[in-house]
Amino acid sequence: QQQVKQSPQSLIVQKGGISIINCAYENTAFDYFPWYQQFPGKGPALLIAIRPDVSEKKEGRFTISFNKSAKQFSLHIMDSQPGDSATYFCAASKGDSSYKLIFGSGTRLLVRP
Amino acid sequence: KAGVTQTPRYLIKTRGQQVTLSCSPISGHRSVSWYQQTPGQGLQFLFEYFSETQRNKGNFPGRFSGRQFSNSRSEMNVSTLELGDSALYLCASRPGATYNEQFFGPGTRLTVL
């Protein structure tokens, strides 16, 4: 019940295309859903996050779509660029006394020029 | 503001040794969490400290321990190193008790030979 399942494992997109990464969770107590971007040799960087009371959040080219009833959320990267090539992790946490992040397994994105 | 800093960045140890890793959170942040990242298990929560107190602990053996100092800097210690402890150890800081956003450092790459 603590797992967050992420798909696909890897993704290849042409420059200018839309990259879509999906995550699903079981624990309905989760109330915070961030996405992190990680480049080789670097730590994960917070990209965008959403709470369950909102169905969509957009920041620049990055959009989170959230479906509370289906317990799913996804990251859309519009106009994908080669510089977006990285590994993306979804995560979830619950805001009780623990803010520990439960991470998905990651998606390796390659954007071809 | 400077980001989360971790030292050392790279470390090579042999089985049976112990190691101490250090993390300095973003200035003003009082919560520090530690995560282990491996290709096989992904990103896993180790523990969190807030105001020098351990608030939560992940599912790791007692060989993994940590502490936080009054200036919010944190250290984690791994005793009796095993080959499977080879990983990227990441530190993340949060502003305070009720903030979800966690900001990661670059990590310490530990190799156990």
Contacts of B100 in chain A (CB under 8 A): 32, 34, 49, 93, 95, 99
Q: Measure in Å the smallest separation between the Cα of B58 and chain A Cα atoms.
A: 9
Q: Measure in Å the smallest separation between the Cα of A8 and chain B Cα atoms.
A: 15
User: Looking at residues A42-63, what average pLDDT do you find?
Assistant: 94
List C-alpha distances in Å: B54 to B7, B48, B67, B93.
21, 6, 7, 14
Residue B100: predicted pLDDT = 77
State whether A98 and B98 contact (CB < 8 Å): no
Q: What is the tens place of the pLDDT at every residue in B19-45?
A: 999 999 999 999 999 999 999 899 999
Higher pLDDT, A35 or A100: A35
Give the phi and the psi of residue A39 in degrees, each rounded to 5.
Answer: -95, 155
**Neighbouring residues of B112: CB distance < 8 A, sequence distance ≥ 6:** B12, B13, B14, B15, B81, B82, B83, B84, B85, B86
Contact A87, A62 (CB under 8 A): no
Helix (H, G, I), strand (E, B) or coil at A20: strand
Q: What is the tens place of the pLDDT at every residue in A9-25?
A: 999 999 999 999 999 99
Residue A96: predicted pLDDT = 66
Residue B21: predicted pLDDT = 98
